[in-house]
Structure 1
Amino acid sequence: MQRGGMEIYHEDHGTAGGRPVLLIHGALSGIGTSFGALLPLLARTRRVIAVELQAHGHTPDIDRPLTVEHCAADVLELLDRLGVATADVLGWSMGAAVALRLGTDHPGRVGRLVLASVSFHPGGLHPGLLDGIQDLRPEHLHGSEFHEEYLRTAPDPAGFPALVAKVKELDANLPVWTAAQIRTLAAPTLLVLGDADIVRPEHAVEMFRLLGGGVAGDLTGLPAARLAILPGTTHTAVPQRAAWLAPMVDEFLDQPDPR
């Protein structure tokens, strides 16, 4: 799909029946490193559309900043081109921020949200976590699975330093949502977090409560929001917990819409 001179790469898997689920990867990652384990499990029972955002994977870079808002607009245009009016959206890390932006700013396009490792303001991250981000150099990532995937898939393998620079700029200007915006999010939402993630567990619980969670369900009934904290799991390990995630995500996406 062409947008502003950029050919946005996507893959389409699984069966065509029902509402599709859109997968959005993390920063410096692509479909393979973010969802290589999870995608085939979800595609057994539903249509799965996986996208690679600006400067990531097969999608080339263009002359504009890498922002959550730009990526959300790209995703919407892709869905338009595919004729998909509404999709469930599963995002991890940067992809979860893009998914959250779709949910708050374009609620009619989103069915259900699965947000893995997301914060709605920078204070949701562990203190000092990004203090050294501006010292990150491309060579620090050489030999990592992210760099190796980039070399395999990128239309310009020499563009990795530019990607790292844009991700550093994104991390220095993280998107922010107000508590009111989270509270009024219409899409039923499953929050997923590793217990050793970059997002503080207290922040995930705060967001869960803003979404209507944290109640005595036996008395009030189950809320539309859910929270899953994966034990023994770091940030980069979250999408690799496919055997745990797939049944949780499948069951959540198959629930009737409370709206």
Structure 2
Amino acid sequence: MTHAPVNGLDLYYESHGAGGGRPLVLVHGALSGIGTSFGALLPLLARTRRVVAVELQGHGRTPDIDRPFTVEQFAADVVALLDHLGIATADVLGWSMGAAVALRLGTDHPARVGRLVLASVSFDDAGVHPGLLDGIQDLQPEHLHGSEFHEEYVRTAPDPAGWARLVTKMKVLDADLPQWPAAAIAALAAPTMLVLADSDIVRPEHAVHMFRLLGGGVCGDLTGLPRCRLAVLPGTTHTTVPHRADWLAPMVDEFLDA
């Protein structure tokens, strides 16, 4: 087990694989950890590159501290981890909340990011299905008992009794989702691959809109391929995106090596 002292945190991370080129940083989803977000995908990606997987504040093996959850702070913690590891620039793959953290890295810390893979991300409130989060404040920690996320937390967290605190702090974050203006998406310097489930919490129209802001949606035979990509996974929901490792790994490998 490996921890790094960053920004007042005892931040847990794992390093897998080897190889030249930029390392790949994996950032998990809300209430999740390395196992439930990337247990199937990580070993496939680590066959050809160094992969660093992190567990954010209060998640998995990283203890919580007296600090609210914000995507901006999570991104700053990842930058501090890169500093700790002596990594100047990394590719970043995030899923769900982790994709928002990865996007914040791309917009706020562009010099530290090579390429981005954003799975199930929206850049404003219009991105998610209307009414989807209306009942989020009624969610109670015990509602998730027995889920794969709760099981992972109880098994790995330094304080298994902290589950209720984690859910409560995530509800605060969900009540004020991170926002980006369209101009910030259009100005994103890192080549970006968007991944979406065809039955995701993010509306497909929003993903296409974001793809166009990044320079996609062109006739590639005439103009050449853009730097961005869009992958829609059929027969897939938001929470089953991580289960599609056999589909994702070759697409991600090819994009990162392009």
Match of 1:149 among 128, 152, 156: 152
Quick one: which amino acid aligns to residue 227 of structure 1? L
Quick one: which amino acid aligns to residue 91 of structure 2? D
SS at match of 1:59: coil
Does residue 209 (structure 1) correspond to residue 212 (structure 2)? The answer is yes
Post-superposition Cα deviations, 1:68-93, rounded to whole Å, max 9, x if no partner, equal 01100100000000000000000000
Provide the rounded CA distance (Å) in 1 between the counterparts of 2:104 and 2:49. Answer: 24
CA positional deviation for 1:4: 4.0
Quick one: which amino acid aligns to residue 222 of structure 1? L
Does residue 171 (structure 1) correspond to residue 174 (structure 2)? The answer is yes
Matches within 5 A, 1:70-219: 70-219=73-222
Provide the rounded CA distance (Å) in 2 between the counterparts of 1:55 and 1:122. Answer: 25
Match of 1:61 among 64, 72, 93: 64
Does residue 50 (structure 1) correspond to residue 53 (structure 2)? The answer is yes
Quick one: which amino acid aligns to residue 170 of structure 2? V
Provide the rounded CA distance (Å) in 2 between the counterparts of 1:4 and 1:124. Answer: 31
* Contact 2:7 2:77 (8 Å CA) reproduced: no
* Contact 2:7 2:80 (8 Å CA) reproduced: no
Q: Which residue of 2 aligns with 1:8?
A: 11
CA positional deviation for 1:16: 4.1
SS at match of 2:53: strand
TM-score, with structure 1 as normaliser? 0.98
Provide the rounded CA distance (Å) in 2 between the counterparts of 1:4 and 1:42. Answer: 28
TM-score, with structure 2 as normaliser? 0.98
Quick one: which amino acid aligns to residue 137 of structure 1? Q
Provide the rounded CA distance (Å) in 1 between the counterparts of 2:234 and 2:203. Answer: 14
CA-atom RMSD, angstroms?
A: 0.6
Which runs of no fewer than 5 residues in structure 2 stay unpaired? none
SS at match of 2:251: helix
Quick one: which amino acid aligns to residue 144 of structure 2? L
**Residues matched between the structures, number:** 255
Post-superposition Cα deviations, 1:183-218, rounded to whole Å, max 9, x if no partner, equal 000000000000000000000000000000000000
SS at match of 1:8: strand
Does residue 17 (structure 1) correspond to residue 14 (structure 2)? The answer is no
CA positional deviation for 1:17: 1.8
> How much identity, in percent, do the aligned residues show?
78
SS at match of 2:206: helix
Quick one: which amino acid aligns to residue 157 of structure 1? P
Provide the rounded CA distance (Å) in 2 between the counterparts of 1:230 and 1:248. Answer: 11
SS at match of 1:62: coil
